[in-house]
C-alpha cells in the first residue's frame, strides 16, 4: 500500500519542488524522475507474476458518492508503470542541451503529467481513472502551447478539443455504469459484474472506444496527431507518443473489454477494420512526407493500428503482442524523435531532402539511429520483432485477410524508414551537414541506453512476456465467461 502511494505521488511532490527550484529545476526534476524509476523497479522486483492485483490501496475519498481512492497493480498495469517511469527520466535527459524559457514550469509539468499517467495505469475506481485521464492532459496542453513551434495555438486547440470531446463520451459511459451499479460505487470489479444487455453494452462500447481511439489515435480519429507531434517541443512529442497514447491502449484492455464484452463482440470487427485502414492509410501518407518528424508521426499511427487490431482480435497472442509492443513502441519512438531533435539542433531542419552524409561526420549517431530504425521496422533480434510477430499471429488467428492487410505495416514501414535513414545519414555531405558534430554527453547516455534496451528486449523478451502472461490469461477468461453469460 505504502509503496504504491509513494510511486504515484513521488512525481507530484517532485513537480511542486521543481516548480520552486528556479535555475536548478532541470537537476531537481532529474533526481525525482530517477528516484521514481528506482521505486518502480523495486515494486517490479517485489511483484509476484500471477493474475492477482498487488500493492492495493483502497481509501475512502468521496464516500457519499461511492468514490474511493482505489488503486493496485497487476501484470498489465505494471508494464505501463515501468514504461512511464523509464521514459520520463530519459525524456528529461534529452532536454539537457536545450534552454527553455521558465524551465521550472517546464520540468514541473512533466512530473505532474507523470502523476496523472500513473493514476490512469493503476486506478481500480472509474472516477479515479477519469481524474488521472484529465490530469495527464492538462500539463501536456501547456507544454505544447507554451514551448511549441509555429502555429502551436491553433494546432494545440484542435488537440485539446479532440481529447476533451472523447473524455466527455467516456464520462457519460462511466456515469451510466455507476447508475446501473446496485452498490452505487465506481469500483472496477462492480462494473465487471454488471448485467447489461447487448444494446446497453453497444452504446457504452462506443462511448469508451471513441475516447480511447482519439488518444491512441486510430483512423479516423487521428487527424490531430501529425500536426501536434510536429508543432510540440520534442519532449512534448515524446510524452505524447511514448507514453500518453498508451493510455488509450491500456483503457481498451482494462476498461473496454472486461466491462462490455458483448459490445466488443458486436462492434469489435468495426474496430479492427478501422485499425487496418489506419495502418494502410498512415503508411501510404508516410511515403509522401518530406519532413522526418511528420514521417515518424504517421509511422506511429500505423504501428498503433496494428496494436489495436491485435487487441480486438481477442486472443492470447494478440493481447500479449499488444503488451510487448506497447513497451517496444514507447522506447523506439522516443529514440527516433530524439535523433531528429539532435539533427534539428545542429542544422535547424528536419527536411529529408536538405540532409545527407551525416554518417560520415557523426558515425556514432548514425549507428545508434540505425539500431533504433531496425527496432522500429521489427528486425529479428530487436525489441520490435517479438511484439509485431505476436500481433500478426493474433490477427491471423482472427482472419487471414486481416493479417495480410495488417502485415503491410511491416513491409511499408521497412521501406519508408530505411529510405529516410538512407537519405538523411548516407550519401555525400552538403553545406548544412559538413560541419555536423557527433553525439556527446547526455546524448550518448540516452541513445546508448535506448539501443541497449532495443537489443536486450529483442534477444531476451521472456521477462516481459512472463510478467504479463497470467494477467492477460485471466482477463481473457474473465471476459469469455461474462460473454457466455450474456449470450
List phi, psi (to 5°) of 84.
-60, -50
Tell me, what's the pLDDT at 486? Answer: 58
Cβ-count burial 360-397 (b if 16+ within 10 Å, e if not):
bbbeebbebbebbbbbbbbbeebbbbbbbbbbbbbbbb
CA distance 28 to 193: 45
What residues pair up with 73 in beta bridges, in sequence order? Answer: 54
- The Cα angle at residue 321 between residues 41 and 91, in degrees rounded to 5: 45
CA distance 464 to 453: 12
List phi, psi (to 5°) of 357.
75, 10
Element (DSSP H or E) covering residue 304: helix 292-313
Domain ranges for the chain: 1-168+221-246, 266-487
Element (DSSP H or E) covering residue 182: none
Q: Indicate the burial class of 339 (C-beta count within 10 angstroms; 0-12, 13-18, 19 or more).
A: buried
Tell me, what's the pLDDT at 163? Answer: 87
Tell me, what's the pLDDT at 206? Answer: 93
List phi, psi (to 5°) of 57.
-130, 135
Place of cell 481512492: 69
Q: Indicate the burial class of 128 (C-beta count within 10 angstroms; 0-12, 13-18, 19 or more).
A: buried
Tell me, what's the pLDDT at 330? Answer: 93
CA distance 367 to 293: 19
CA distance 137 to 73: 22
**DSSP codes, 2-14:** HHHHHHHHHHHHH
CA distance 173 to 183: 17
CA distance 20 to 189: 40
CA distance 85 to 33: 7
Measured over the CA atoms of residue 286, residue 383, residue 406 and residue 312, the dihedral's sign is: negative
What residues pair up with 351 in beta bridges, in sequence order? Answer: 291
pTM of the predicted structure, to 2 decimals: 0.92
CA distance 182 to 386: 43
The per-residue pLDDT string of the chain (487 residues; one tens digit each, 9 = 90 and over) reads 688 999 999 999 999 999 998 888 899 999 999 999 999 999 999 998 888 889 989 888 888 888 899 999 999 999 999 999 999 999 999 998 888 888 899 999 999 999 999 999 999 999 999 999 999 988 988 898 888 777 778 888 888 888 888 889 999 999 999 998 888 888 988 888 888 888 888 999 999 999 999 988 888 888 888 888 888 888 999 999 999 999 999 999 999 999 889 888 888 889 999 999 999 999 989 888 898 999 999 998 988 999 999 999 888 899 999 999 999 999 999 999 999 999 998 888 888 888 888 988 899 999 999 999 999 998 999 998 999 999 999 999 888 888 888 888 788 888 999 999 999 998 888 888 888 888 898 999 999 999 999 999 999 999 889 999 999 998 888 888 877 765 5
Tell me the CA end-to-end span of the chain in Å, nearest whole number.
38
Measured over the CA atoms of residue 324, residue 325, residue 327 and residue 332, the dihedral's sign is: positive
- The Cα angle at residue 160 between residues 154 and 161, in degrees rounded to 5: 90
Describe the chain by its helix, strand, coil percentages, rounded to 5: 80, 5, 20
Q: With beta carbons less than 8 A apart as the criterion, state whether 412 and 302 touch.
A: yes
Helix (H, G, I), strand (E, B) or coil at 29: helix
Place of cell 481511439: 213
Tell me, what's the pLDDT at 443? Answer: 92
Amino acid at each position: 500500500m505504502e509503496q504504491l502511494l509513494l510511486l504515484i505521488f513521488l512525481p507530484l511532490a517532485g513537480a511542486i519542488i521543481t516548480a520552486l527550484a528556479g535555475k536548478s529545476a532541470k537537476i531537481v526534476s532529474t533526481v525525482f524522475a530517477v528516484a521514481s524509476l528506482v521505486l518502480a523497479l523495486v515494486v517490479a522486483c517485489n511483484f509476484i507474476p500471477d493474475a492477482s492485483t498487488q500493492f492495493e490501496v483502497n481509501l475512502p475519498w468521496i464516500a457519499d458518492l461511492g468514490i474511493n481512492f482505489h488503486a493496485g497493480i497487476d501484470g498489465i498495469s505494471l508494464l505501463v508503470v515501468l514504461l512511464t517511469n523509464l521514459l520520463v527520466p530519459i525524456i528529461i535527459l534529452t532536454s539537457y542541451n536545450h534552454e527553455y524559457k521558465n524551465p521550472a514550469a517546464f520540468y514541473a509539468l512533466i512530473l505532474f503529467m507523470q502523476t496523472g499517467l500513473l493514476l490512469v495505469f493503476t486506478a481500480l475506481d472509474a472516477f479515479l481513472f477519469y481524474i488521472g485521464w484529465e490530469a495527464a492532459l492538462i500539463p501536456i496542453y501547456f507544454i505544447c502551447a507554451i514551448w511549441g513551434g509555429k502555429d502551436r495555438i491553433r494546432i494545440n486547440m484542435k488537440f485539446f478539443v479532440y481529447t476533451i470531446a472523447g473524455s466527455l463520451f467516456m464520462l457519460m459511459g462511466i456515469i451510466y455504469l455507476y447508475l446501473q451499479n446496485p452498490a452505487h460505487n465506481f469500483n472496477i470489479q462492480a462494473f465487471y459484474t454488471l448485467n447489461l444487455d447487448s444494446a446497453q453494452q453497444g452504446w457504452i462500447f462506443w462511448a469508451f472506444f471513441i475516447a480511447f481511439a482519439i488518444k491512441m489515435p486510430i483512423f479516423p480519429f487521428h487527424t490531430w496527431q501529425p500536426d501536434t507531434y510536429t508543432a510540440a517541443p520534442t519532449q512534448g512529442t515524446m510524452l505524447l507518443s511514448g507514453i500518453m497514447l498508451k493510455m488509450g491502449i491500456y483503457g481498451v484492455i482494462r476498461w473496454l473489454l472486461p466491462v462490455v464484452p458483448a459490445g466488443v463482440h458486436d462492434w469489435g470487427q468495426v474496430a479492427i477494420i478501422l485499425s487496418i485502414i489506419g495502418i494502410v492509410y498512415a503508411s501510404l501518407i508516410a511515403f509522401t512526407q518530406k519532413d522526418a518528424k511528420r514521417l515518424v508521426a504517421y509511422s506511429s499511427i500505423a504501428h498503433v493500428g496494428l496494436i489495436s487490431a491485435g487487441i480486438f482480435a481477442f486472443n492470447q497472442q494478440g493481447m500479449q503482442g499488444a503488451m510487448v509492443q506497447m513497451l517496444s513502441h514507447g522506447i523506439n519512438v522516443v529514440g527516433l524523435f530524439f535523433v531528429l531533435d539532435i539533427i534539428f539542433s545542429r542544422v535547424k531542419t528536419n527536411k529529408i531532402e536538405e540532409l545527407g552524409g551525416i554518417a560520415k561526420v557523426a558515425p556514432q549517431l548514425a549507428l545508434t539511429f540505425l539500431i533504433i530504425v531496425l527496432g522500429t521496422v521489427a528486425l529479428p533480434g530487436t525489441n520490435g520483432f517479438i511484439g509485431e510477430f505476436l500481433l500478426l499471429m493474433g490477427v491471423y488467428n482472427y482472419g487471414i485477410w486481416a493479417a495480410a492487410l495488417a502485415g503491410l505495416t511491416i513491409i511499408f514501414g521497412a521501406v519508408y524508414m530505411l529510405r529516410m535513414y538512407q537519405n538523411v545519414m548516407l550519401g555525400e555531405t552538403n553545406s548544412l551537414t559538413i560541419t555536423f558534430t557527433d553525439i556527446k554527453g547526455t546524448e550518448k547516455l540516452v541513445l546508448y541506453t535506448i539501443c541497449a534496451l532495443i537489443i536486450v528486449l529483442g534477444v531476451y523478451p521472456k521477462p516481459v512476456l512472463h510478467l504479463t502472461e497470467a494477467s492477460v490469461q485471466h482477463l481473457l477468461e474473465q471476459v469469455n465467461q461474462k460473454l457466455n453469460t450474456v449470450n
